Amino acid sequence: MKSEKPHSTGSESSLDQLTLEFLGKYGTTSVQRLHGALRISNPSLTELEVVDMVWRLSDEGKAQLEDAWPVTKPFTRFLGLWERHLALYGSLVLAFAAILSIYVVPADLPWVSIRWVLGSVFVLFIPGYATVEALLSRRSELNSLERFALSIGLSLALVPLIGLLLNYTPWGIRMTPIVISLTIISLGLVLVSLVRGYFQQDLTSFR
């Protein structure tokens, strides 16, 4: 990766300035090398923070990103970066909580309200969110509000389609088949998102 502007302005943070100066001096580099250089003056700096900064500099037009690195880190280590996947893992927790509430929480007030809330999230958000993450795994492609709106829109499109397909199966449109179908689809899309993210995690060439 290399800087589009070798020197920063006064409005940029000191970390941005150090990054642009490093890129201006050494040119194309990797996120790992940049992280190592910045840690000399910022020992507590994490690689995740460097990745976030890289995306921001790219969005601001101060640097360019390229995919050009061989995958060497194990997939299990990538899955262990829970802070990076917090939203994705959180959606899975909500999905399983919704499933649990459907079959465990009593159908009497006030307990049934838990089923209504978690069930609504499970049906109207989780499938679409998993789809968005699978198709648009890079954070720079959409902002948070756009991802949220698109997640709801895709859920509203996917759920009726699943119901239509179930109507032509021996199971029909019933609670359990719908729950199982949504769970399988959501888990599959989350796995696709994680695999895509694994192969894109380094952003490797930052220039």
- Are 113 and 94 members of one domain? yes
* Residue 162 forms part of a structural domain: yes
59 and 79, same domain (yes or no): no
- Residues in the chain with pLDDT values less than 50: 1-12, 68-70, 202-206
Q: What's the pLDDT at 196?
A: 82
Q: Is 204 helix (H, G, I), strand (E, B) or coil?
A: strand
Residues 60 and 87 reside in one and the same domain: no
Q: Where are the alpha helices (DSSP H) in 5-143?
A: 14-26, 31-38, 47-59, 75-79, 86-104, 112-124, 126-135
85 and 50 together in one domain: no
First-to-last alpha carbon distance for the chain, in angstroms, is: 2
* Same domain membership, residue 169 and residue 81: yes
Check residue 67 and give its pLDDT: 52
Q: Could you give the number of structural domains in the chain?
A: 2
Give which of 15, 59, 17 is closest to 7, Cα–Cα: 17
pLDDT at position 199 is: 73
Q: Say if residue 148 is in the same domain as residue 93.
A: yes
6 lies in some domain: no
Q: Which pLDDT value is given to residue 203?
A: 47
Domain carrying residue 50: 14-66
CA proximity to 19, closest of 69, 57, 68, 59: 57
DSSP, res 65: E
- What whole-number distance in Å separates Cα of residue 187 and Cα of residue 65? 30
Q: Does residue 148 share a domain with residue 79?
A: yes
Helix (H, G, I), strand (E, B) or coil at 176: helix
Domain membership of residue 7 (yes or no) is no
Amino acid at 47: E
In a domain, 20, yes or no: yes
CB–CB of 28/50 below 8 Å?
Answer: no
Cα separation, 171 vs 169, whole angstroms? 5
Is 62 inside any structural domain?
Answer: yes
